[in-house]
Amino acid sequence: MSFKGQHILSVKQFDRDNISRIFEIARQMAPYASRKKRTRVLDGAILGNLFFEPSTRTRVSFGCAFNLLGGEVRETTGMESSALSKGESLFDTARVISSYSDVIAMRHPQAGSVAEFAEGSRVPVLNGGDGANEHPTQALLDLFTIERELAASGLQIDGMHIAMVGDLKFGRTVHSLSKLLCLYRNIKVTLVSPAELAMPDDIVSNLADAGHQLVISDKLEGHLNADIVYQTRIQEERFPSKADADQYRGKFRLNQEIYTRYCKSNTVIMHPLPRDSRMEANELDNDLNLNPNLAIFRQADNGVLVRMALFALTLGVENIVKDYECAVPWYSNK
Ligand code: NCD
């Protein structure tokens, strides 16, 4: 696949070569993300950053990624402050915003909405999460993180053991990540969730068809000795009410004591964030913060690299980023 001018709507678009290419470009972005150098390769370009659902990291990291490549960001946040709340169609919004911008990142609560929007867009659209459906840029940064973290123990994605824990029904990050894992070989995938929040059947079938070994459980005990434990938040916003979500909160807590008892000494802990740190949930306790295998902040940092790579590729500048380099004159402790 050539990335230039393409929408990024689903991980199903990618093969392993595409992913290797994205990761190769992402690694090249490290000096800019760590402020060792600047690049102005996207000087003059505009990102339309449209977030119709709550977000901190994804929205800001899309924006920072674009800024770090020298581009400008225009954004709108929240449904109520947009013309969609006046009845405008996604198509009309797309036609207008795509004439104002060079690329668009978008998040929306409805499954399929970003693809519908892309039909009206004249510039590439990057899906920042469409309801419970997909979150392709998150899955790419998750896989990038998995590859990096496993390499430290001499392991690879092929042949690894990953346990995904929590709300696997509504969690779009685990949906997209599972679909990506189908491109790899011989993975043991453990799915731990309450039965009512199980991974959708079609995704489980895809994992089985890919030849992966599947373990499905509604208990955490006995399933934590994986290479990667990918914890998730109960996706309260997709439940009919807070009370419905409350039934499942706090069921699968992970803290240092449980880690010491059940995980391997080098089990990597991931979470797309935000972790729900309220007492009744506390799915990843703060006492893990000093555990060197807690990768959640490295994971979030990797999001900037991967999103920079996706902008460079979709705008066709991935090979000339260096030609637009300049110095960083300000103090930086990164
Ligand atoms: C996730 C999301 O929005 O799907 N967050 C993120 O993008 N990093 C996960 C979540 O909200 O629980």
Q: Per-residue pLDDT tens for 316-327? A: 999 999 999 999
pLDDT tens-place string over residues 33-92: 999 999 999 999 999 999 999 999 999 999 999 999 999 999 999 988 888 888 999 999
pLDDT for residue 300: 98
State both tokens at 249.
Answer: 């909160």
Task: Report CA(105)–ligand 1 centroid distance (Å).
Answer: 15
Task: Report CA(240)–ligand 1 centroid distance (Å).
Answer: 18
Q: Is 57 helix (H, G, I), strand (E, B) or coil?
A: helix
Q: Tell me the sheet residues that pair with 229.
A: 163, 269
Predicted structure pTM score = 0.97
DSSP assignment of 153-187, as one string?
A: TT--STT-EEEEES-TTT-HHHHHHHHHHTTSSS-
* Residue of the CA atom closest to atom 7 of ligand 1: 58
Report the alpha-carbon distance of residue 3 to residue 143 in Å, rounded.
19
- Cβ–Cβ < 8 Å for 123, 102: yes
pLDDT tens-place string over residues 288-305: 999 999 999 999 999 999
Q: Is 107 helix (H, G, I), strand (E, B) or coil?
A: strand
- Cβ–Cβ < 8 Å for 193, 166: yes
Burial of residue 195, with CB atoms counted within 10 A of its CB: 0-12 exposed, 13-18 middle, 19 or more buried:
exposed
pLDDT for residue 298: 98
Vertex 152: Cα angle to 158 and 290 (nearest 5)? 120
Whether the per-residue pLDDT at 201 is higher than 90: the answer is yes
Segment 246-253 shows an average pLDDT of 96
pLDDT for residue 169: 98
Task: Report CA(319)–ligand 1 centroid distance (Å).
Answer: 31
Chain mean pLDDT for the chain: 97
* CB of residue 127 inside a 6 A radius of ligand 1: no
